[in-house]
Chains A and B, each alone.
Chain A
Amino acid sequence: MFNFFHNSNIFIWIEKLINFINSIFFVLLLVALSFALIFSPPDYLQGDSVRIMYVHVPAAWIGLASFTVIAFLSIINFIFKIKNLTLIAKSIAPIGLLFTCVAIVTGSIWGQPTWGTFWAWDARITSMVILAIFYLFFILTHKYLLEESKANNVSSLIAIVGLINIPIVKYSVEWWATLHQPASIKISGTSSIHSSMLMPLLLMFFVLILYCALIFLMKYKTEIIRIKKKNLKRI
């Protein structure tokens, strides 16, 4: 049983998964993009600029979800010191940061035609920037703290403090008056987004999750190779 979790076994599985995702990713991306950019209707109010949503919303979800995963892994890690979980948390961080930045940048681009401004220091946008900063600190501790156990402890604590920011991002639009509109898709209750636009949104989300998984697996693979090559820090 525990043999399965041995690094070389994981390595083989990562290889297989990467190949599998690679084989379906581009086809799915084309399908999702054509639904998002061509087949889905424009919005009654915003017209075609609503199409930015199909990248913006999934990117923000992934940014938030990745950090939540990192934070929970960090909690387990801090208490039980499981080597593999450290590697996983470390490997998720870059792609999470990327998607958080994508969400901020696309949001800014979307803000200009709809709100009339690129930037507003409202609660949602500010808390999203803080999330990106937490990602950055998490990654930098691993880069600059050379002693590994220390780096793990510090980065775990950063992720755990950052976890508090996640509900703030999520509920910022309900707790405070913000320029950003409230959530359209609710976990319970009906969504205020029409199904013809919800479908491409979920499709894009699925494709971007696949991309996220792909980058994560590649990074994870690199970390395992590094251990195999006796802690070679840079290639």
Chain B
Amino acid sequence: MLPKKVKKRASLLAIFLLASVLGVFLILNTLNKNILYFNSPTDIKISQDINYNKKIRIGGMVKKNTLEINNEEIKFIITDFKNEISVSFKGTIPNLFAEGKGVVAEGMLKDKRFFEADRILAKHDENYMPPELKNILSDNAK
């Protein structure tokens, strides 16, 4: 049999732990929208209250064969394979930015389909492999 003191401390701790789990859960629930680092094009499409003067981030994949680079700007389409947003951007892009790869664009929405970015971040996936293997894989895919 455990001493009474130990039991008391154990139950105290259990209540304390339960309360703090609940507290953290409530905080995270309230912050839910703000924890998201970026919105997907679908989020933008369904959201009702868009502030066009506030900076937001949009993330997704750079749609294949849509990347246009000319002297003044870079244009591409961000897609989440359901909805799309056209993005234009002036500035330097990170090394890992490429068609078919993940991207996060920071800037302002002009309307629901057009986004003017002032910063581009590359979002890379969790796959790591040597270049030789990648070549073999892409050869096989052809």
Chain A interface residues (CB < 8 Å from chain B): 41-46, 50, 53, 75, 78-80, 113-117, 120-123, 157, 160-161, 164, 168, 176-179, 181-184, 192-194, 196-197
Contacts and interface: CB of A to CB of B under 8 A. Distances in A.
A178 B105 CA distance: 13
Nearest to A41: B130
A60 to B, nearest CB: 14
A46 B96 contact: yes
B36 A176 contact: yes
A196 B21 CA distance: 40
Interface residues of B, number: 40
A78 B123 contact: no
Q: Is the interface of B mostly helix, strand, loop or mixed?
A: mixed
Interface of B: 6, 9-10, 13, 16-17, 20-21, 24, 28, 35-40, 59, 93-97, 101, 104, 119-134
Contacts of A41: 130-132
A194 B134 CA distance: 11
B130 A196 contact: yes
Contact of A50 (B9, B119, B128): B128
A44 B21 contact: no
Given A79-B9, A160-B13, A45 B124 contact: yes
A121 to B, nearest CB: 8
A116 B122 contact: yes
